Amino acid sequence: MDLDRPLGGIHVPLITPFDADGTVAAAALEGLAHSALDGGAAGLVALGTTAEAATLDAEERGTVTAIVGRVCRERGAWLTVGAGSNDTRRSGAELRALAGTEAAAALVPVPYFTRPSEAGVVAHVEALAADSPVPLIIYNIPYRTGQTLGIEALLRLAAIPGVVGVKHAVGGIDQDTVALLGAELPGFAVLAGDDVFAPALLALGAAGAVLASAHLLTERWVELARTGDRALGHRLAALAAAVFAEPNPTVIKAVLHAHGRIPGPGVRLPLLPAGGPSLETALRAWDAAGDTRVRTHALIGEAS
């Protein structure tokens, strides 16, 4: 899908809901996709970490991509598909498979576990971008990859033809983050990727954000990106902290199930379902963030 508008706004990396028998709950996934776009999201991400993509087989990955792609096509929204690994050749094959799909971009991680040099990361991305049928968004998340990128490497990545942005999730706001957000980078968008720090990055000039917690209160996240409301940002940061109290997406799934939006809260091993206290805390944080539709105490009782 070719979109004539720049990358930005709130993008929701969708979970993969499962039915009671463990199969992909296609209708629930489609409903979540429409709900996020109804809330004002600029785009959706399929097959990200939040989707438990590592646990999906090839057929399931195709199903998820097709469902989310169809919704994005109908709604004129960005579809970003997670692709890539720490093997440049395999990553290239995954990207080539996106040709002819609804994907507007691919979310490609910095190579993990291998921990190449910064020059190696740049060479990896250059090779992928040269052959990819869709633009690339780099996923910079050092606590998952084991590789920290300094500002010079980030600027080199931003200058690669075919690279249109970065999901920046470095676990805080450091000097390199401030420098990146202050740089003049035409055609390149910095998207906040740490949910708790997203309000601060938006205030510093991020073009948007890719946020798992935006499954909840999507419209409030969109409002924050538009207005910069400080009090709202604090409430949404608290909500984000609550839904990341256990490994993602376990708490988000528990909350969505409590609201009847997915068939169950199940995740695939090695993840385990979120505990009751985490669910209660997240439901209260949702309430505090300002969604008047939430009946927190009733939902806690129904979920217990």
Catalytic pick among 112, 143, 167, 253: 167
* In the block, residue with structure tokens 């093997």: 87
Query: Is 253 designated active site?
Result: no
Please list the active-site residues. 139, 167
